[in-house]
Amino acid sequence: MYKFFINDKPLLIASDVSIELASLQLPIKQYNKETKLMDLVRKIEENSEKGLILLYKDPDFLFQKLLSKFTCIHAGGGIVFNDKKELLLMKRLGKWDLPKGKIDPGETNEEGAVREVEEECGISPLNIQYFMGNSYHTYKLQGHRFCKLTHWYVMNTPFTGELVPQIEESITEVKWANPAEIDLRTLDTYESIRAILQDVLHP
């Protein structure tokens, strides 16, 4: 299954409807050669739509076809735990978020992810534990559609110093949170971030 977030609303691509997908109570559409993908994207962009499940026998093919409709921007992000097993959260533009940002020229995805965490939260050193997966969300800028492909890495750190939010990136707060006390149903965050946290905290 692929998760593609459009205006923070999910377009999910799968071969069939699993119990997990059915529980989301989203509209379901069967893809065929008459289906115009960008018409579906524009419909999801409307405020009245809450998302869509798109079914096709070959989800890999359909996802790549959808991705080809966007200019792709690669980013790196970190899901960071300290030695107390607490999770790093930061508040950006009023919502709880995870540190992430564009990969610079010449950087590997891993290097970019580590740098973004260091810059946005003031933490070092960081040790990558494993690659978590990718997330995809779209945005429009000057009439063009972009897809930010974020490569996520689970990291840990022995850092015990003061957390420093990168104010110039609209980050106003950084904190350590006990995962057992995080209610993902009510956490004020983006749906794409909620999906990542769900995969990490409740695999």
In the chain, where the domains are located: 2-67, 71-201
The pTM (predicted TM-score) of the whole model is: 0.92
The third-level CATH classification (topology) of the domain covering 71-201 is: Nucleoside Triphosphate Pyrophosphohydrolase (3.90.79)
In tens digits, what is the pLDDT along the chain, a chain of 203 residues? 999 999 899 999 999 998 888 888 899 999 998 999 999 999 998 877 889 999 999 999 999 999 999 999 999 999 999 999 999 999 999 999 999 999 999 999 999 999 999 999 999 999 999 999 999 999 888 888 999 999 999 999 999 999 999 999 999 999 999 999 999 999 999 999 999 999 999 87
The CA-atom distances, in angstroms, between 60 and each of 55, 56, 64, 86, 193 are 11, 9, 6, 35, 22
